[in-house]
Chain A
Amino acid sequence: MPFNSISFFIFFLLFTIAYYLIPSTGIKIGILIIGSYFFYAYAGVHHLAFLLLVTAITYLISQSNKQQAMSRIRLLLGIGCIVVLLLTTKYASVLLGDWPPINFSEGNLLAILAVPIGISFYSLQAISLLVDLYRGRYVQPLTLRDVSLYLSFFPQAASGPIHRAGELIPQFQRVGKFTSAHVVSGLKTILHGYFCKLIIADKISLIITPIFNAWDKFDGLSLFISALLYSFQIYFDFWGYSLIAIGVGRVLGFKINVNFVAPYRASSFREFWHRWHITLSRWMRDYIYIPLGGNRFTFIRFCFAIFITFLVSGIWHGVTINFLLWGGVHAVLYLVEDIIRRQCKNYGYNQLSTQAFKIFQPFRWFLFFLMISFTWLIFRTENIHSLYGMVSKMFTIRDWSVSMTYDYYFSGINIVYLFVISVAFVISHALSKFINTQVSSPVLKRKLLVESLFVCICLLSIILLGDMGGQEFLYFKF
Chain B
Amino acid sequence: MNNVNPTNNERTFKRFALVLAILLLVNPVVFYLVIGRLAPSLFIPLVIVGLFVLLVENRRLKPIGILLFNLVIVASILLHAEAVFTYRFTDYIIEDLYNVKHNYYFNKPYLDKTFRDKEFLVQYKTNKQGFRIGAEDDPETEVGAADWLFIGDSYTQGAQVQYEELYTSKLFDYFPNKIIVNAGISGLGIIDEYYYYIHEGSKLGAKKVFLQICNFNDFMNVDKRQFGFSDYLMQHSNFARFVLYGFKYANPAELPLGRWTEPFYPDEKSNRNFNVFYQEQSEKKQRDLKNFKLYFEKLAEKVKADGAELVVIQIPTKEQVYYKYLDEVITNFNIDASKLDLDFPNRLMAELCDANQVKHLDLLSDFTDTGSHLFFQFDEHLNVAGHDRIAQSLANMEFASNDQAYGVPSLISKLNVGDRYPVFVGGDNNSLTYQSFRDGNMELFIADSLFENIRRLTWNSVDEIHPWTSPDGTQLVCTEGNQSANNTKVVLMNIDGSNRRYITNQENVFGAIPAFDFQGNRIAYAEWVQAKNSGYLSNPRIVIYDLRTGEKSYITTDDYESWRPIFSPDSQKLYFISKEVDNQFDVFEYTLSDGIKKNITNSPYDEWDPAISKDGRKLIYAGKQHGNWDLFLLELGTSKSYPLTRSLGNEWDPTFSPSGKYVYYAATYGLRNGIFKISLKD
Q: Which chain A residues lie closer than 8 Å to B228 at the CB level?
A: 6, 467-470
Inter-subunit contact B230/A467 (CB<8 Å): yes
Q: Bits for A195-217, please: 1 = Cβ < 8 Å to B, else 0.
A: 00000000000000000011111
Inter-subunit contact A456/B268 (CB<8 Å): no
Looking across the interface, which residue of chain B has its beta carbon closest to that of A386? B269
Inter-subunit contact A180/B60 (CB<8 Å): yes
Inter-subunit contact B291/A184 (CB<8 Å): no
Q: Bits for A212-231, please: 1 = Cβ < 8 Å to B, else 0.
A: 01111100000000000000
Inter-subunit contact B229/A416 (CB<8 Å): no
Contact among B78, B246, B247, B270 with A213 in the assembled complex (CB-CB below 8 Å): B270
Inter-subunit contact B63/A469 (CB<8 Å): no
Report the separation of the CA atoms of residues A460 and B72 in the bound assembly, to the nearest whole angstrom: 11
Inter-subunit contact A465/B247 (CB<8 Å): yes
> Could you tell me the distance in whole angstroms from the C-beta of A90 to the nearest C-beta in chain B?
15
Q: A180-B61, A456-B70, A469-B229 are in contact. Are A464 and B269 (CB under 8 A)?
A: no
Inter-subunit contact B233/A463 (CB<8 Å): yes
Residues 458 to 476 of chain A near chain B (Cβ within 8 Å):
459-460, 463-470
Looking across the interface, which residue of chain B has its beta carbon closest to that of A218? B267
> Could you tell me the distance in whole angstroms from the C-beta of B339 to the nearest C-beta in chain A?
15
Q: Confirm or deny: A413 has a beta carbon within 8 angstroms of a beta carbon on chain B.
A: yes
Q: Confirm or deny: A149 has a beta carbon within 8 angstroms of a beta carbon on chain B.
A: no
Q: Which chain B residues lie closer than 8 Å to A416 at the CB level?
A: 246-247
Inter-subunit contact A6/B229 (CB<8 Å): yes
Q: Confirm or deny: B243 has a beta carbon within 8 angstroms of a beta carbon on chain A.
A: yes
Contact among A217, A460, A469 with B74 in the assembled complex (CB-CB below 8 Å): A460
Inter-subunit contact B74/A463 (CB<8 Å): yes
Q: Bits for B45-83, please: 1 = Cβ < 8 Å to A, else 0.
A: 000000000000000111110110111011001100000
Report the separation of the CA atoms of residues A413 and B249 in the bound assembly, to the nearest whole angstrom: 10
Q: Which chain B residues lie closer than 8 Å to A184 at the CB level?
A: 63-64, 66-67
Q: Confirm or deny: A243 has a beta carbon within 8 angstroms of a beta carbon on chain B.
A: no
Q: Which chain B residues lie closer than 8 Å to A215 at the CB level?
A: 267
Interface residues on A, range: 20 to 34
Q: Which chain A residues lie closer than 8 Å to B246 at the CB level?
A: 413, 416
> Could you tell me the distance in whole angstroms from the C-beta of A3 to the nearest C-beta in chain B?
13
Inter-subunit contact B240/A464 (CB<8 Å): yes
Looking across the interface, which residue of chain A has its beta carbon closest to that of B333? A217
Q: Confirm or deny: B254 has a beta carbon within 8 angstroms of a beta carbon on chain A.
A: yes
Looking across the interface, which residue of chain B has its beta carbon closest to that of A213? B269
Q: Confirm or deny: A151 has a beta carbon within 8 angstroms of a beta carbon on chain B.
A: no
Q: Confirm or deny: B224 has a beta carbon within 8 angstroms of a beta carbon on chain A.
A: no
Q: Confirm or deny: B636 has a beta carbon within 8 angstroms of a beta carbon on chain A.
A: no
Inter-subunit contact A105/B293 (CB<8 Å): yes
Q: Confirm or deny: A187 has a beta carbon within 8 angstroms of a beta carbon on chain B.
A: yes
Q: Confirm or deny: A139 has a beta carbon within 8 angstroms of a beta carbon on chain B.
A: no
> Could you tell me the distance in whole angstroms from the C-beta of A21 to the nearest C-beta in chain B?
15
Contact among B78, B226, B265, B294 with A469 in the assembled complex (CB-CB below 8 Å): B226
Report the separation of the CA atoms of residues A183 and B269 in the bound assembly, to the nearest whole angstrom: 45
Q: Which chain B residues lie closer than 8 Å to A214 at the CB level?
A: 265-270
> Could you tell me the distance in whole angstroms from the C-beta of B31 to the nearest C-beta in chain A?
17
> Could you tell me the distance in whole angstroms from the C-beta of B674 to the nearest C-beta in chain A?
47
Residues 264 to 280 of chain B near chain A (Cβ within 8 Å):
265-270
Report the separation of the CA atoms of residues A184 and B62 in the bound assembly, to the nearest whole angstrom: 10
Looking across the interface, which residue of chain A has its beta carbon closest to that of B291? A105
Report the separation of the CA atoms of residues A439 and B63 in the bound assembly, to the nearest whole angstrom: 10
Contact among B67, B70, B244, B290 with A104 in the assembled complex (CB-CB below 8 Å): B290
Q: Confirm or deny: B227 has a beta carbon within 8 angstroms of a beta carbon on chain A.
A: yes
Inter-subunit contact B247/A413 (CB<8 Å): yes
Inter-subunit contact B63/A181 (CB<8 Å): yes
Looking across the interface, which residue of chain A has its beta carbon closest to that of B68? A184
Residues 434 to 478 of chain A near chain B (Cβ within 8 Å):
439, 448, 452, 455-456, 459-460, 463-470
Looking across the interface, which residue of chain B has its beta carbon closest to that of A9? B229
Q: Bits for B255-299, please: 1 = Cβ < 8 Å to A, else 0.
A: 000000000011111100000000000000001001101100000
Q: Bits for A88-108, please: 1 = Cβ < 8 Å to B, else 0.
A: 000000000000000111000
Q: Which chain B residues lie closer than 8 Å to A470 at the CB level?
A: 228, 230
Q: A216-B267, A456-B73, A460-B78 are in contact. Are A467 and B67 (CB under 8 A)?
A: no
Inter-subunit contact A180/B74 (CB<8 Å): no
Q: Confirm or deny: A188 has a beta carbon within 8 angstroms of a beta carbon on chain B.
A: yes
Looking across the interface, which residue of chain B has its beta carbon closest to that of A214? B267
Looking across the interface, which residue of chain B has its beta carbon closest to that of A187? B67
Report the separation of the CA atoms of residues A455 and B67 in the bound assembly, to the nearest whole angstrom: 8
Q: Can you give 26 contacting A-B residue pairs, CB < 8 Å? A: A6-B228, A6-B229, A105-B290, A105-B291, A105-B293, A180-B64, A184-B63, A187-B67, A213-B267, A213-B270, A214-B265, A215-B267, A216-B267, A217-B267, A412-B254, A416-B247, A455-B67, A456-B73, A459-B71, A463-B229, A463-B240, A465-B247, A467-B230, A468-B230, A469-B227, A470-B228
Q: Which residues of B contact A (CB under 8 A)?
A: 60-64, 66-67, 69-71, 73-74, 77-78, 226-230, 233, 240, 243-244, 246-247, 251, 254, 265-270, 287, 290-291, 293-294
Q: Which residues of A contact B (CB under 8 A)?
A: 5-6, 103-105, 180-181, 183-184, 187-188, 213-217, 412-413, 416, 439, 448, 452, 455-456, 459-460, 463-470
Q: Which 9 pairs show the lowest CB-CB distances between chains A and B?
A: A214-B267, A469-B228, A468-B229, A184-B63, A455-B70, A105-B294, A459-B74, A213-B269, A105-B290
Q: Beyond A181-B63, A214-B270, A468-B230: 4 further Cβ-contacts under 8 Å?
A: A180-B61, A187-B67, A213-B270, A439-B63
